[in-house]
């Protein structure tokens, strides 16, 4: 029997260690797996490498980890938010490494990582500082930059519903990076609003098929 449900955060985070690379879904606070991120804080892990569109928003999740100096590096498209100064402070103090990746390239690199693609050429970032040091190539007179896949040991995702096989649905724009990150990590851990019976999710409505998901934990009101 396949049962990906876990019932506490220790079980959800099994195998994690200091220095772990974690993809964290969410665009701003929408779809951010705050409870999973705060469980990492409670477990004491540090020197983390986070892959996420933003380096946190507001007061929760990544912002808490940043404030406790648990994060060594963030790979993101846009690190700052209008409602937190911590990223700016840590960066100015030399305590946080940032790798800035254009948002579409960030997403596509993770897709490539999840899809077994060794790299891809994109026009995005051509003639900009973000293309420096990367191989470039011209196809039919158009310049492209080679981008390499991005994978991680763990992906943290927030979804709306899951069944015990790990099939997922999302809520509106909280979907954002979830489906792509689920493909790209060795271990994909999902916090869901509600776990439902197998068969309750119409196969036509499944957004992330369970094959990409390793562990699910129900977090009511998360």
Partner 1 sequence: MARLSRKQIAWRVAQDIQDGTYVNLGIGAPELVANYLPDDREVIIHCENGLLGMGPTPPEGEENPDLINAGKKPVTLVNGASIFHHTDSFAMIRGGHLDICVLGAFQVSERGDLANWATLDNSRPPGVGGAMDLALGAKDVFIITDQCTRDDQPKLLESCTYPLTGKGVVSRVYTDHALIDLENNTFVVREIVEGISQEELQNMTGANLVIADNCTTLRTPEL
Taking the C-alpha atoms of residue 109 and residue 145, their distance in angstroms, rounded to an integer, is 12
Q: Which stretch binds partner 1 (CB under 8 A): 34-42, 43-51, 175-183, 210-218?
A: 175-183
Structural Rg of the chain based on CA atoms? 18
Residues 6+ apart with CB under 8 A from 146: 119, 120, 121, 134, 135, 136, 137
Question: Cα separations (Å) of 73 from 59, 84, 94, 199?
Answer: 19, 17, 11, 40
Taking CB under 8 A as the criterion, the residue among 28, 33, 56, 61 binding partner 1 is 28
Taking CB under 8 A as the criterion, the residue among 180, 187, 188, 191 binding partner 1 is 180
- Footprint of partner 1 on 119-148 (CB under 8 A): 122-130
Residue number, 21 or 25, with CB nearest to partner 1? 25
Q: CB of 90: closest distance to partner 1 in angstroms?
A: 9
- Footprint of partner 1 on 37-96 (CB under 8 A): 53, 57, 76-82, 87-88, 91-92
Taking CB under 8 A as the criterion, the residue among 33, 102, 149, 166 binding partner 1 is 102
Contact assessment for residue 147 and residue 119, using Cβ atoms and an 8 Å cutoff: yes
Residue number, 5 or 151, with CB nearest to partner 1? 151
**DSSP code for 207:** S
Is 166 near partner 1 (CB under 8 A)? no
> What's the burial of 78, exposed, middle or buried (CB within 10 Å: 0-12/13-18/19+)?
middle
Judged by the rule CB under 8 A, the positions of this chain that interact with partner 1 are 27-31, 53, 57, 76-82, 87-88, 91-92, 98, 100-105, 107-108, 110-111, 122-130, 170-180, 207
């Amino acid at each position: 029997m396949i049962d990906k449900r876990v019932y506490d955060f220790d079980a959800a985070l099994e195998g994690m260690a200091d220095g772990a690379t974690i993809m964290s879904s969410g665009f701003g606070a929408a779809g951010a797996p705050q409870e999973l991120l705060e469980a990492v804080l409670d477990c004491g892990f540090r020197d983390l490498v986070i892959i996420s569109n933003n380096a946190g928003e507001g007061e929760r999740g990544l912002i808490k980890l940043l404030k406790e100096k648990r994060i060594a590096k963030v790979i993101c498209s846009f690190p700052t938010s209008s409602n937190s100064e911590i990223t700016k402070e840590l960066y100015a103090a030399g305590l946080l490494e940032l790798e800035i990746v254009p948002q579409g390239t960030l997403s596509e690199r993770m897709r490539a990582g999840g899809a077994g693609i060794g790299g891809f050429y994109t026009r995005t970032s051509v003639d900009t500082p973000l293309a420096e040091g990367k191989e470039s190539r011209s196809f039919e007179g158009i310049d492209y930059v080679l981008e390499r896949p991005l994978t991680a040991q763990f992906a943290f995702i927030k979804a709306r519903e899951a069944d015990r096989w790990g099939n997922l649905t999302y809520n509106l724009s909280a979907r954002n990076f979830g489906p792509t990150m689920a493909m790209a990590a060795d271990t994909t851990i999902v916090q869901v609003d509600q776990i439902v019976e197998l068969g309750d999710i119409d196969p036509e409505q499944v957004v992330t098929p369970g094959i990409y998901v390793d562990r699910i934990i129900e977090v009511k009101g998360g």
